[in-house]
Structure 1
Amino acid sequence: MWGRVRKACARFFGAFRSEPDTGGDRRTHNLFEAAAVYVSACAEDDQDQIDEATGWVSPEALSFGVSELACRAVIALAQERDESPQTVARSLLGLPAA
């Protein structure tokens, strides 16, 4: 039974990784690393890094990672500014206060 549980968990977590390309980079990247590289590359308008990060994990995993990164960033900024996360998120998006 534990073998089946282990295999199911391995398949689940394996979905968040992509196979390393044959370009010599044998290291696999996790979804949070891919999200961090993707978001910072978008901020710097670096299309090469964007393309590289999108190849590291599945699109679904990248989307989840970017969402998690956004949540953590808003929480950190809210704590730093002593404001609510909603106020900070609306401010970052240029929306009027609710």
Structure 2
Amino acid sequence: MPKRPERRAHNLFEAAADYVAAHAEDDQDRIDEAAGWVSPEALSFGVSELACRAVLALARERDESPRTVARDLLGLPVA
């Protein structure tokens, strides 16, 4: 009997990275695939962690506060 390929488990950070990248590229098939790798709660946590890390990296790069960067990314006025 042929051996079935094992389905590799994905961790929440891998799922979040692929999910966000797929959204940025408007690729619904990849969005749906990544969303199925982990629970909705785990995906939400991973996306939140990715957002925090991205804002911190941009803030350092721009020499601005994380709040300023986050508001700028969302098109909000500086508070």
Query: What TM-score range do you get, normalising by the shorter chain?
Result: over 0.9
Where does structure 2 lack aligned partners over 5 or more consecutive residues? none
* Aligned Cα root-mean-square deviation (Å): 1.3
Residues in 2 aligned to 1:56 and 1:93: alpha-carbon distance in whole angstroms: 27
* Runs ≥4 residues deviating over 4 A: none
Report the Cα offset of residue 88 of structure 1: 0.1
Question: Helix, strand or coil for the counterpart of 2:31?
Answer: helix
- TM-score, length of structure 2 as denominator length: 0.92
Equivalent position amino acid for 1:50 in 2: I
Question: Helix, strand or coil for the counterpart of 1:28?
Answer: coil
Where does structure 1 lack aligned partners over 5 or more consecutive residues? 1-22
2:28 counterpart residue number: 47
Aligned residues: 76
Residue identity (%): 82
1:28 counterpart residue number: 9
Report the Cα offset of residue 64 of structure 1: 0.1
Q: Which of 8, 13, 19 lines up with 1:38 in the alignment?
A: 19
Between the two structures, name the one with larger relative contact order (CA 8 Å, sep ≥ 6). Answer: 2
Question: Helix, strand or coil for the counterpart of 1:83?
Answer: coil
Aligned residue runs from structure 1 range 50-61, under 5 A: 50-61=31-42
